[in-house]
Structure 1
Amino acid sequence: MFTLSLARPRQTVVRPGLFHRLSAFSALARQRRALARLDDARLADIGLTRHEALTEAARPAWDAPDHWRG
């Protein structure tokens, strides 16, 4: 006999593991250091001022954007 179930399987929320989070925070810190090293012409290309770049670069790695938090 064949039974057809139309119920959808439960969706599980996958939270990133510790290694993934540490790796992401490390990458963010690296990107912020690189941002601080850009010259004024490169900052102008991406629409940032020196002050904005240095302010962002000074943020700690764990101060991640809101969309990173799950």
Structure 2
Amino acid sequence: MSHALTDIRLSVLSNADRLPALANWAVVVAVAVTKWDARHRTRKHLSKMPHHLLSDVGLDPVTAAREAAKPFWRD
């Protein structure tokens, strides 16, 4: 799966209103799966991040662990 889609591109795709119903459904599913994949990868990296880097991004270990423990489908 390509990770080149940005939030802006995802927004444009998910707001496409001139597509046939099946194509529109496919876009909605693709956008959801792409977002889930990004959350999964981000949370996986966050769970492995050393404490000194967590403080660099403004997170404490407890908050980072809480975020990393969320399932990929939760925002």
Fold equivalence (TM over 0.5)? yes
Aligned-pair distance for 1:17?
1.1
TM-score (norm 1): 0.67
Q: Deviations over 1:40-70 (max 9, x none)?
A: 1000101111111010000011111xxxxxx
Q: Which of these residues, 37, 41, 51, is aligned with residue 30 of structure 1?
A: 41
Q: Which of these residues, 25, 39, 57, is aligned with residue 68 of structure 2?
A: 57
Q: Deviations over 1:14-52 (max 9, x none)?
A: 275101111111111110110111101000101111111
Structure showing greater Rg:
1
Distance of 1:47 and 1:31 partners within structure 2: 16
Q: Which has the higher helix share?
A: 2
TM-score (norm 2): 0.63
Unaligned runs of 5+ in 1: 1-12, 65-70
Distance of 2:69 and 2:54 partners within structure 1: 16
Please list every run of at least 4 consecutive aligned residues from structure 1 whose deviation after the TM superposition is greater than 4 angstroms. none
Unaligned runs of 5+ in 2: 1-13, 17-26
**How many residues align structurally?**
52
Name the structure, 1 or 2, with higher relative contact order (CA <8 Å, separation 6+): 1
